[in-house]
Structure formats: C-alpha cells, structure tokens
Structure 1
Amino acid sequence: MNFKLTALLLLFSIGAVSAQQKNWTLQECVEYAVEHNLSVEQYELDLQNAQIDKSDAVGAMLPAVNASSSVTGSTGLSFDPTTNQPVTTTILSASGGITSSLTLFDGLRNLHRLNRAKLNAISNQYRLDDLKDDIRLNVANSYLQILSNKETLKVFEAQFAVSEQDLKRSKELVDAGVLPNGDLLEIEATLANLEQQIVNTQNQVLISRINLAQLLQITDYENFDVLEGDFQVPPSEVLTKAPKEIFAEALTFRNDIKFSQSGIDLANKDLDIAKGAVYPSLGAFFNYNTRYSDQGGFDSSTGSLVPAESFSNQLWINDGISYGARLDIPIFNGFAVKNNIKRSKINVEKAKLQLEQEKLNLETNINQAYVDVTSFSKAYDAAQKTLDARRLAYDYSKERYDVGLMNAFDFSQAQSRVDNAEADLIRTKYDYIFRLKVLEFYFGLPLEMK
C-alpha cells in the first residue's frame, strides 16, 4: 500500500512539474493574450452594451403598457369618488387602471435608432477585433525578442566554452615557454568579458520573458517560457507582392478600416435621426380604469340610503375606458432641431475624413513595413557575410596564435569580432523575421512560427 501511494505521489509530482515547465508556442501566446487581456474584456463589455442598445431600440417601437392602483382613506368632508357627492364621514376608496400608448409616427426616428443600434454593435465588434490585431503584433514582437535573446545567450555560452579551451592551451604554452604570461592574462580577461556578457544576456532573457508574461496577464514569471527551436527566416509569398497590392488587400479585411467605415454609417444614421425631428409625431393611447368606495348611494325614490355594492360589483359598475390620439407639430424650438441637423452633417464629414486618414495611415504603415523588410533582408545578408569573413579571420588568427605568431591581445580581438558578428546576425535575423511577419499580417496571413 505504501509503495502504491509513493508511486502515485511521484507520478503526480512529475505531472505538476511538467505542467509548470510548459513552453508556449507563438500561437498559444497569441490566443491566450487575446482571451485574457484586460482591454479586450473591457471592449467586450462595450460590445454587450451596444447589443443592449439594440434591444432598447426594438422596445421603443412596441406599445408601452402600465398599470396603476391606489387606496385612499379620508375623514371629514370629502367627495365620494364613485358618486362625486360631498359627504361628511370616513371614506375608504380604491382605484386602478391600465394605460397603453404607442408611437405611430415620429419622423421614422425609432426605425433609424434601431438601425443605428445594429450598426453600433457591428462597429464595436470591429473595434474589438482591431484591438486583438494590435495585441497579436505586440505578442509576436515580444515572443521573437525572447528567441533572439536566448539564441544570443547560446552563442556567448558556446564562445565561453571555446575560450576555456583556449585558456587551457595557453597555460600549456606559457608553461612550455612558448607564450609570455601576459598572453594568459589577456585570455583570462576575455573569459571575464564573456562571462559578463552571459550575465547581461541572461538578464535580457528574463526581462523579455517578463514582458511577454505581462502581455498575457501571467504572474508566474519563473515558470513561464517559450518554445525554443531553430527558427530560420521563412519563405513568404508576400515578398512577391508590391506595396500597392498589399494595401489593396488590406483594405478588404483590416478591422481599423472597417471601424472607420462604420463610423460614417453611424454618423449618417445620427443625421437621419436629427432630420426626423422636423416631422410631426403621432401617438395613440388607450386607458381602462375602475374605482371602489365603501359609501352607499342615495335612492331618491324612497328617500333612503342604499348600502354600498360589493367590491367586485363596484369594479364592474364603475369601470370605464378612454382612448385617443395625439399629434405634435414642431413649429419653433429655438433652432435646436436645425442646429442638431447641422452638427450631424459636420460629424458625417468628420467621419469621412477619419476614414481617409486611416487609409493614409495604413498605406504609410504598409510602405514602411515593406521598406523595413527590404532593409532588414539586406542587413541580414550582410551580417551573414560579415560573420563568415570574421570566422575565417578567426581561424587564421587561431592558427597563428597556436604557433606563437600572434599575441593574445590580437587573438582576443579576433574572437571578440566573431562574437559581435554572431550577435549582430541573430539580432538582424529576428528583426527581419518580425518585419516579415508584420508585412504578412497586413496581407492577411496568420501569425505563426514554424
């Protein structure tokens, strides 16, 4: 029994550690960020409000029904509500009724409000989706920054291991009298510098992990990490497209453009609502009411008081209905309607200008992304060529150093140039990948790393 319990606890512990050490893919990070981001949750609440506004607009087109009732007691001289005769006594009376009203015509404003509410719900959905797009790009940038820092750390650690071997060989050469002791000190200084770079890069890895975790609303920074892999510059069909083609495609699906277009539709609906106030409004109403009193009546034929009818009988005897229609014609209202129409027209023009501005911003961003991809592609190729040349120079310097034809200072400089070239290659590679992903994103391709 103890053995089984121990085995179960061991399996549980292994499962818990595995869950804590989960490495996230880019797609998982993007999906999690979109689902748990606080701004997204706020925008989703705004969308729910917009959907409630649509329900309000539908309700405004339906009849309004209200019921009322009251119970009154009075002592002294008062009027009997059922006979309207003055009496001096204590009276207990009750009344109740149901009233219904319906707007028949109001310049189609209720209909325009309903259509506006529908458009506003769509607009809020575009606004929410645009925010999610921005989050996806931010997550991708942070994710690639972690990968870049990790790859740079691996380079420095590998160079540190090589430098340790150089230090060991240098000690042997110094002991053999081939190299002076100063060269050994130079190698030790190079090792110390690499160790410092490793510590700095480890800090950068941690900071970049924390930044991504914060975007994902994750507080367990210690156990949060991303999936590592040998990511290379991916081939992309977007490189075969011209900026104008990418821009034309982006106009068909970008949520920021759709959001601005919906702003024009909303402004036009506001204008229709403002114009509706110029027309007369027509409404109808219907009312049913009844009343009760504990006072009896007076029979003139016998000259005697008649006891009060029962409560149920009085409800039928004293009931009544009223109905009618109401027409309101606007004549003069202090220029309020006229000025509201003018403001609505101005808002339509502002919405149109906002759409044009969004299009210009999108075209500028696409052109900038295209230039960035071209520039970083060239920078990446140049960094690769530089690294190849630095490695050849380093191999040549190492051969000279091993036979005593180069001092340790010059040899450490050659190694430092290789380190810097490798770090620069990693930086330009991930800068290029991110710019490429941005351009693909503008073309409608999903954010993913393979």
Structure 2
Amino acid sequence: MKINKINSLVFAMLFGFGLAGHAQSKQWTLEECVRYALENNITIKLTELDVKNAEIDKRGALGSYLPSVNGNASHSWNIGLNQNITTGLLENQTTQYSSVGASVGVDIYRGLQNQNTYRRAKLSIIASKYQLLKMQEDISLNVASAFLQILSNKEDLKVKKEQLVIDEKRYARSEEMVNAGTIPRGDLFDLKATVATDKQNIAVSENNLLISKLSLAQLLQLKEFADFDVIDDTNLEDENNIMAQSPIEIYSKAKEIRTDLKLAQTNLEIAEKNVTIARGAYQPTLSAFYNFNTRASYSDIVTGATLNTANPTSQIGYVQGTNQAVLQNNYSPVLGNAAPIFDQFNDNKGQSFGLQLSVPIFNGWSVKNNVERSKVNLEKSKIDLEQKSLDLQRDVYTAFTDARAALNTYEASAVTLEARQQAYNYAKEKYDVGLMNSFDFTQAQTLLTNAQSDVIRTKYDYMFKIKIIEFYFGIPIVPIITK
C-alpha cells in the first residue's frame, strides 16, 4: 500500500475528532522545539563552556613561547646589632633598606614540548567543538522523539474520546431498545461497563499526553509550561526519499560526516601528540635568564675620618732589638646623611645573565612511565576509533532495517484497521437489528480500537525511524550552526 493511501486512511479515521480544551497561546513546531533546545538546553551550555576552556588552554600553550618577566621589591627593618651594608660596620641600631629588581627568563629548547603542546591545544579545541556538535545532534533526536510522542498521544486520546462518544450514543440507543423489549437488560449493563472503561482509558491517555508534554518542556528547559503544546503535524511522507538509498550508500555518507568518527579521529591525533610531548622530556632543556637589582639604605654613611682626641694613638707592636713601641693614629669615622634614594638606586645597580642547561639523567622512571602511559592511551584511542567505525556500520544497517520494518508494520496495521472497520460496521448492523449480542459487539469494537491504536503507534514509530536514517545521511532536523 502506498504511503499517500495510508495517510488518507489515517486522516479519514481522525476526521472530525476534536480535543476539548482551552485555546493555547502558542503551539510549537518541531523545528521551533529543536532550535529552542539548541539555544537553551543546560547540557549544551555546559559543553559550550568546555569549548571556551579549550580556547583558554590554547592561549596558555601559546604563552609558553613568550619569555617570563617578573619584578620584585622589598623594604626591611633591621633592629639590634647588624651590619650596615653601606658602611660595612656592625652597629647596634635600627636600619631600613629598600631593594628592587627584575628577572627575565626564556626557554630556548625544551625538546619541542612547547610546540607540540600548542598543536595539541588546537586539536583539543577541534575535539571540544565536535563534542558540542555531537551533543546538539543528540538533543535534536531526543526532541524529535519527544515531539512525536506527544503527537502519538494526542491522536490516541482523540480515538479514545471518539470511542466514548460512540459508546454513549449506543448506550442511549440500547436503553430505548431495552424499554421496547428488543434486547435483554443484561446487554445494557455490559454497555454501561464499556462506557466506564472508555472513561478510564481517556484518563490514562490524558495522563500520558500530559507526561509527554512535560518531558518535552523539560528537555527544552521551559520555565513556564502549563500551557505548552505542539502543533499537530501528521505529515508522514518521506520528503527526502531517504529510503531509496541503500544501506551501503547511507553508511558511506555517514563515515564522511558523522561527528562520532570525527571526534574519535581527533582524540587519536591528540593521543599521538601526548606521546610526542612525553618523549620530549628525555631531551635536555636550555634556557636563558637575565636579572637586575639595586638597593638603597636609609642609614648614615661615612663621609670622612678625624683623629680621636681621647685616644689619639694605639700600640700595634715593638721594634725588634730596641723594643721601641710602634704606634698608629686612631681615627674615628665621620658620618653624614645617606645619599638621596634615587642616587643610591643608580649607584648600587647590579646585573646578571646567562644560560642554564638541564640534562635529565635519572628521575625515578617518571619520564619513561609517562611515555608508556601515553602509548597505552594512544592504543586505546586507535581501538576506540575502530570501534566507533564498526558501531556506525552496525547502527546504520540496524536503523535502515528498523525503518523498513516499521514501514511494513505500519502498512500492515493500516490494512488491519481497514478490515477491522468493515467488520465493526457489519457487527453494528447486526447488533442494531438484534442479530448480535452485546458481548460479541463489544469484542468487535475492542478489536477496532486496538487496530486504531496500532496505526497511530506504528505511524509515529516509522516517522522517528525516518528521522534517524536522515540523521545518519546528514540531513538535520534544523541546520546546526557551529560557533
């Protein structure tokens, strides 16, 4: 049976059915739901922050190429007996000193670790963007599934309400027939139970519809969802004619565009860079440095010397043979005010610069262990890529088979519905003239209701299976714009 014919049957079945309720301020389309979810879903927002972290790591890796520049300054008080750094004398006093300095260091060679770290950072940005894209694709499919579930529950509720209307009319008609003595009163009790069952089924369907609406509203992160509803969209046509493609064609296209494979491939390249970075620690490192410093003291300084009048001379020895005392003059330093601060800073400048070479000899096997660990992670990445490729092939063939089976099931359920409808019409004619009892007629009606539910269920199952095939073929529900 052709799809258009099936649609006509479904539309005819649902024609005239109404869903009671107040008017909604807005009914969302599938595309609107997906776009809103992509912009507001919390999981997507968290993944976007991971992209920003990767970009920050890239800037950090780029900074490793640049020299490090640091400045320092200090001011100190020395109390008690200490050496005056200006006079060189031990003095029991309180002195103050200020010093300033700066240092510059730059890596000349680090086993190419800086270069490889920067390249790995760029790959990490690509991987984080693929992860974000994968999350957006998954959310899109989840939204589509939840959206179609609402539509399925809506149509199921319409069927249940229409069945209640039919049974209530039949109950009223049966009362007249009982009063006329056409049918026994026991049939009326059966119909009363049937009406009660219909009401119970409507309550269950209304609850299922409400839960499905809440599920989609929460997936969209809607804060106000009391009046949330979606537009009734029963279009079943395969607009992209995706089922005309063969599984091998879909798989070949999926290998080129699927985010899972691109992410696994990028993670493999990151693992390769990690091995290269770890091996770089075996090589020596060479760095250059430059230091500048100066200081100033707030203590008095020696400006001259004068003869000590209280003790002008002191004996320092004897002349051999005559034992004549050898004397020297005793001088006392003359102190003056400290030089201006900026003059001291200028006079006390000091600089140093040079190269520093570090050669790894033994480090407790830490470098070797890091290399071996990175090699293990590389092998895991290779296996993961291979597994992702196998999973994709299996998923594509499974999805295609499921979609084809869903179509066959839907077509078969539509044929069943048509037959059940004819059987119901025939049973109704017999019941109306008293040639069929209430129990047998209720059985025919139940079979019709089940057939209607099967058509609804299989229809939306097929619609979702089509969306999955389109997903693998690179046809999104809405275009996803990467930032």
Q: TM-score, normalised by structure 1?
A: 0.90
Whether the 8 Å contact between 1:390 and 1:418 is mirrored in structure 2 is yes
Given the alignment, which residue of 134, 137, 160 partners 1:156?
160
Alignment of 1:42-441 (within 5 A): 42-82=46-86, 84-298=88-302, 304-441=334-471
Whether the 8 Å contact between 2:87 and 2:302 is mirrored in structure 1 is no
* 1:85 CA drift (Å): 4.6
Q: Which amino acid aligns with 2:397?
A: N
Whether the 8 Å contact between 1:73 and 1:91 is mirrored in structure 2 is yes
Whether the 8 Å contact between 1:99 and 1:285 is mirrored in structure 2 is yes
Whether the 8 Å contact between 1:109 and 1:276 is mirrored in structure 2 is yes
The share of aligned pairs that are identical, in percent, is 44
Post-superposition CA distance 1:356-393 (Å, at most 9, x none): 11111222211211111011111101000000001111
Post-superposition CA distance 1:143-171 (Å, at most 9, x none): 11111011011112112222223233333
* 1:272 CA drift (Å): 1.1
Count of residue pairs the alignment pairs up = 431
Which stretch shifts more, 393-402 or 82-91?
82-91
Name the CA distance, whole Å, in 2 between partners of 1:148 and 1:246: 28
Ranges in structure 1 where 5+ consecutive residues have no aligned partner = 1-16
Name the CA distance, whole Å, in 2 between partners of 1:94 and 1:424: 89
Q: Which amino acid aligns with 2:152?
A: S
* 1:301 CA drift (Å): 8.0
* 1:174 CA drift (Å): 2.9
* 1:284 CA drift (Å): 0.6
Q: Secondary structure at the match of 1:23?
A: coil
Whether the 8 Å contact between 1:81 and 1:93 is mirrored in structure 2 is no
Whether the 8 Å contact between 2:86 and 2:301 is mirrored in structure 1 is no
Q: Secondary structure at the match of 1:287?
A: strand
Distance 1:100 1:223, change over 3 A: same
Equivalent in the alignment of 1:10: none
Distance 1:81 1:246, change over 3 A: farther
* 1:425 CA drift (Å): 0.5
Q: Secondary structure at the match of 1:406?
A: coil
* 1:88 CA drift (Å): 4.2
Distance 1:83 1:340, change over 3 A: farther
Name the CA distance, whole Å, in 2 between partners of 1:94 and 1:226: 74
Post-superposition CA distance 1:55-74 (Å, at most 9, x none): 11111211111111111222
Q: Secondary structure at the match of 1:24?
A: coil
* 1:77 CA drift (Å): 3.0
Name the CA distance, whole Å, in 2 between partners of 1:280 and 1:108: 11
Q: Secondary structure at the match of 1:446?
A: coil
Distance 1:168 1:295, change over 3 A: closer
Q: Which amino acid aligns with 1:405?
A: L
Name the CA distance, whole Å, in 1 between partners of 2:178 and 2:85: 123
Name the CA distance, whole Å, in 1 between partners of 2:103 and 2:174: 103
Post-superposition CA distance 1:11-32 (Å, at most 9, x none): xxxxxx98x7322111122222
Which stretch shifts more, 126-135 or 168-177?
168-177
Whether the 8 Å contact between 1:141 and 1:434 is mirrored in structure 2 is yes
Ranges in structure 2 where 5+ consecutive residues have no aligned partner = 1-21, 307-332, 479-483
- Larger helix fraction of residues: 1
Which stretch shifts more, 137-146 or 401-410?
401-410
Name the CA distance, whole Å, in 2 between partners of 1:392 and 1:304: 128
Q: Secondary structure at the match of 1:123?
A: helix
Q: TM-score, normalised by structure 2?
A: 0.84
Equivalent in the alignment of 2:319: none
Name the CA distance, whole Å, in 1 between partners of 2:181 and 2:57: 89
Name the CA distance, whole Å, in 2 between partners of 1:398 and 1:368: 43
* 1:36 CA drift (Å): 2.3
Name the CA distance, whole Å, in 2 between partners of 1:386 and 1:261: 48
Q: Which amino acid aligns with 1:102?
A: V
* 1:83 CA drift (Å): 5.0
Post-superposition CA distance 1:298-339 (Å, at most 9, x none): 356876445421111111111121111111111222222222
Q: Which amino acid aligns with 2:366?
A: A
Distance 1:83 1:358, change over 3 A: farther
* 1:412 CA drift (Å): 1.7
Q: Secondary structure at the match of 2:368?
A: helix
Post-superposition CA distance 1:394-437 (Å, at most 9, x none): 11112222222222221221111111101111001011111111
Whether the 8 Å contact between 2:70 and 2:102 is mirrored in structure 1 is yes
Larger radius of gyration: 2
Name the CA distance, whole Å, in 2 between partners of 1:33 and 1:301: 88
